Structure 1
Amino acid sequence: MTEAARAAAADPAGTRLDGSVPRDANGVPHGQPVLDSLIALLDLERIEENIFRGVSPAESPVRVFGGQVAGQALVAAGRTVPRERQVHSLHAYFIRPGDPSVPIVYEVDRTRDGRSFTTRRVVAVQHGKTIFSLSASFQIDEPGIDHAEPMPDVPAPETLPTYGEQVGDLVHQLGRAQPRPIDVRYVTDPPWVRRGKGPQEARSQVWMRADGVLPDDDLLHVCIAAFASDMTLLDAVLARHGVYWGLDNVNGASLDHAMWFHRPFRADEWLLYDCASPSASNARGLATGRFFSRDGQLVATVVQEGLLRVLD
């Protein structure tokens, strides 16, 4: 990790030299400086050949955000793989809550290097214990059969209100006052709007993109998508039952997370994240998500199970 990257990671608001930083109507930092801080967050320090170290933003909740540790683990795996091999799938388990006050050590096992595929396993360690594990598979570019489901018919992102406009005065109550590197626009009504209105469709649709310009690094774009995929996925589960984090007595956490990457994409261009929940039981909710590019290409598929305890 470079000194500039260390400084940016330590200052997640991305304050400029003149002290200014873009802020929305609620005073929450966003835009290119905040995105640059996320890029720095994913710029891991190499300690040994297969060992990397990452940090958390200075302004963090009590637990490390799941998308952060997934993105950092994927960076660690990708840095041990030839650049011509692109990640096509990852499978991860969230084992223990991460402590944002101390660095996370990522240990990479070079499981297999084949002629077409490369497999890596990563464990994230804090305080001598594994908090997260990830397996990722990489593949050379190969021609083959090609088909995909069509993208749902939804309004264009520019016609939708910004996240700050939609959340309004609830931003602090929802715990969303931290800097936002991802621009999110809800297509469906946000879960906090649907609260208390009886059974709802178990679905959430948002447009999202990195809030700025990313460098031309394929692995970085995939890792940004992995980071963002954990942001709204479980909304589909909660929307079905008319409850939401921060507004109702709901405790939850990601349990496992899987992603498949089908086609190239840029994470700083609009992606439709179409999420649904086929089932919830035993204090667990299952959610599936599909990422579509602006031109309608299905670029990634996500599945996650989350722990969801509605205590009231």
Structure 2
Amino acid sequence: MPESLEDLVELLDLEKIDVDLFRGRQPQTAMQRVFGGQVLGQALAAAGRTVEPERIVHSLHGYFLRGGDTSVPIIYRPEPTRDGGSFSSRRVVASQNGKPIFYMSASFQRLEPGLDHQDPMPDDLVAPDEAPTLASVLEARSGRKAADWDKEWAALDVRLAGVTGRQFWIKAAGKLPDDPALHACVLAYASDLTLLGASLLPHGIVIGDRRIQPASLDHALWFHRQFRADEWLLYDQASPSASGARGFATGRLFTENGHLVASVAQEGLIRPVGLDLD
């Protein structure tokens, strides 16, 4: 995965190879498959390159079709499906070796005033400066060294915000340019990091356990309010259900001062491999 925030920003800066056709490079990684958040972020970047800058993404819905090959660049083809007076929509196909690995639909809107309400932010949280890092928590739970986790997720600063293991502080590990589209892509990237693990917590299992075959199946993200991805966001997660070797999880992202800026939903594969279900 990207070894720094600068690497992540470069990863999201796609190469234009033709009209509405982009190439996304791959980072150095020990992972066997492309991280789902990378495909989400790059696909959103491709869609955003075809939309007027004043139109901001407000939702995306993606399906992971095949595991991505980390040694092959990914080709992104955004289709300009609609440009109305206030909204624009795009459909993006990501492919490798001539086969689609990911589909995404995204909708963009001009900023406008309207009715406003939100859920309150959870309380009883550990402050970011006092919270343990995700790498140290995973080291204790998985036995894999914290340095290995840090190397894979160096572009992000992620810390455990509550004792339940389903609340995290998360932000880019450094300063980002003042580009709302880039901040949305970084948040899309980060939103896939810990969410699938929420569906394993009720069973006392963590991501990385070899008894589970995990994979993201689909991912939806709604952007409610303006935010910066380089400032602390609380990622509050829950898993209402797991069945059929699939886990369903939802998440809410709040700023430190309590503004709800995004909501997430995901279903993922959590197939038992050598796990005693009795």
Task: Give the TM bin, normalised by the shorter chain.
Answer: over 0.9
User: Is 1:185 aligned to residue 171 of structure 2?
Assistant: no
Alignment equivalent of 1:229, drawn from 180, 191, 199: 191
| Cα deviation, residue 120, structure 1 | 0.3
Question: For residue 302 of structure 1, what is the amino acid of its counterpart?
Answer: V
Q: Alpha-carbon deviation of 1:262?
A: 0.2
Q: Distance in 1 between matches of 2:137 and 2:59?
A: 33
1:252 CA displacement: 1.1
**Aligned match of 1:145:** 115
Structure 1 residue corresponding to 2:144, chosen from 143, 164, 171:
171
Structure 1 partner of 2:91? 121
The match for 1:31 is none
Q: Deviations over 1:124-167 (max 9, x none)?
A: 01010000010000001111100000100022111212234434
Residue 217 in structure 1 maps to residue 179 in structure 2: yes
Would the alpha carbon gap of residues 283 and 179 (structure 1) be closer, same or farther in structure 2, given more than 3 Å must change? closer
State yes or no: 1:90 paired with 2:52. Answer: no
Per the normalisation by structure 1, the TM-score is: 0.83
TM-score (norm 2): 0.93
1:156 is matched with: 127
Q: How many residues align?
A: 270
Opposite residue 187 of structure 1, the aligned amino acid is A
Task: Using the TM superposition, name which of 155-164 and 37-46 deviates more.
Answer: 155-164
Higher strand proportion (structure 1 or 2)? 2
Q: Residues 179 and 152 from structure 1, CA distance in 2 versus in 1: closer, same or farther, beyond 3 angstroms?
A: closer
- Could you tell me which of 201, 207, 210 is aligned with 2:169? 207
SS in 2 for 1:278: strand
Q: Cα distance, 1:310 vs. partner?
A: 1.8
**What root-mean-square deviation, in Å, do the aligned CA atoms of Structure 1 and Structure 2 show?**
1.8
Mapped pair 1:288 → 2:250: yes
- Alpha-carbon shift at residue 175 of structure 1 (Å): 6.4
2: CA distance between counterparts of 1:128 and 1:244?
A: 34
Q: Which runs of 5+ in 2 are unaligned?
A: none
Alpha-carbon distance, 1:59 to partner: 2.0
- Gaps of at least 5 residues in structure 1 are 1-8, 14-33, 192-203
Counterpart among 11, 18, 32 of residue 48 in structure 1: 18
Does the alignment pair 1:307 with 2:269? yes
Are the aligned partners of 2:126 and 2:162 in contact in 1 as well (CA < 8 Å)? no
Residue in 2 aligned with 1:18? none
Aligned residue in 2 for 1:195: none
- Give, in whole Å, the separation in 2 of the partners of 1:284 and 1:310: 10
